Structure 1
Amino acid sequence: METCERAEAEALSAWFATATPKPETAVSLWRENPHLPRRLKCGVTFDVVMADRSLIKKAYGLLAQYEQPLGPAVLFTSLRSAAVLVPVGTALRWNGLMATAQWPERRPRPACLSDGHMIIVPAPRPAGLLAQWLEPPDDEQAIGGTPLLTSPVPLARCITEAQALLGPTERTPLRRTVSAVRSLLHSPQRT
């Protein structure tokens, strides 16, 4: 059984390594230190949808509720953001998928990263503090070492629904002050 698990982990490592400049060196390094996070290029084997952590968590809950396949997703421990691995080419159509969504100006619109961007992902069995898996790559659903990735169409729909369910983001004291000043400026003058 351990040999089978090791082979599956090796296949995932080989897949991750294809998004590095030197795949053979990366696999060797990861074999020596299996808990080492991976620094990978976007647009090679996957694109990445970046959004607020609470938004991605809620969207993944909705995807599970609607019985949609869940691909790998990463939570960044020092940031308030999360990343979802999606098929290559998603970045070309992401804006179109999100175009119909009403988005509050206080919440950053989710973006899809591709060529020219890099991402840090934890090892398949992480021990690090930089990032953690919200949904790890699934060895059992990997085909030829390639894990199942989240489909962009249901992801966009669930992110939009999650945004509506979460409501507006909490206002900071500065934003409350700005809102108060704006409301005073726009209210009718009493004489």
Structure 2
Amino acid sequence: MEHTGLHWLAQVAPDPEDFRETWERTGLGLMLLPAGRRWDALVVPGRLGRPAADLLGLLDTGPCGPVLADSGEENVSFLVPVGTAARWVGTGVRSAGEGTWIVVPHPGRSSRGVRWLVPPDGSGRLNDPVLLELVLHEAAAGLGGW
């Protein structure tokens, strides 16, 4: 699982093979990858993002796509289809799309700071923005209106 997730993540690097080999060889836990090539990221406050990620996991739509959390789960990031960042409108939601970079942890190693709540499985599965919006509303309602 981690091996295919690593290959999938590396595909957005300028030189995917070199990137993957460097990441494996150096043992670095965190790397910068460009958003907007195979995925965008939506970043929400952890108090909303963690319940939303849990709700996504409970849906009968299959496994959710990759989800990241920073240390202390202050922020939770959902990987979504390219173009979502440019179209997303939501209070308190930041986006990373074309022209931006995000820090990602190695899918098979633990790291301090950023970690996978749901690691990439190599399939290319991303979070559906429509479902994400619904679970964010549901999570906000559960928090008393966020």
Which interval holds the TM-score relative to the shorter structure? Answer: 0.7 to 0.9
Given candidates 7, 11, 16, the residue that maps to 1:14 is: 7
Counterpart amino acid of residue 93 in structure 1: R
Query: Are 2:41 and 2:78, in contact at CA under 8 Å, matched by a contact in 1?
Result: yes
Q: Secondary structure at the match of 1:164?
A: helix
Cα separation, 1, equivalents of 2:119 and 2:17: 23
- By how many angstroms is 1:35 displaced? 5.3
For 1:1-191, list aligned pairs within 5 A: 9=3, 11-34=4-27, 36-68=29-61, 69-77=63-71, 80-95=74-89, 98=90, 109-139=92-122, 142=123, 147-167=124-144
Kindly indicate which of the two structures has a greater share of residues assigned to helix. 1
Rounded Cα–Cα distance in structure 1 between residues aligned with 2:44 and 2:18: 31
Q: Name the Cα RMSD after superposition.
A: 2.1
What percentage of residue pairs aligned between the two structures are identical?
Answer: 31
Distance 2:84 2:96 in 1: 9
Equivalenced residues, count: 145
More relative contact order in 1 or in 2 (CA 8 Å, sep 6+)? 2
Compute the TM-score of the two structures, normalised by the length of structure 1: 0.67
Q: Structure 2: any 5+ residue segments left out of the alignment?
A: none
Secondary structure of the corresponding residue to residue 50 of structure 1: strand
Runs of 5+ in structure 1 lacking a partner? 99-107, 170-191
Cα distance in 2 for residues equivalent to 1:121 and 1:63: 21
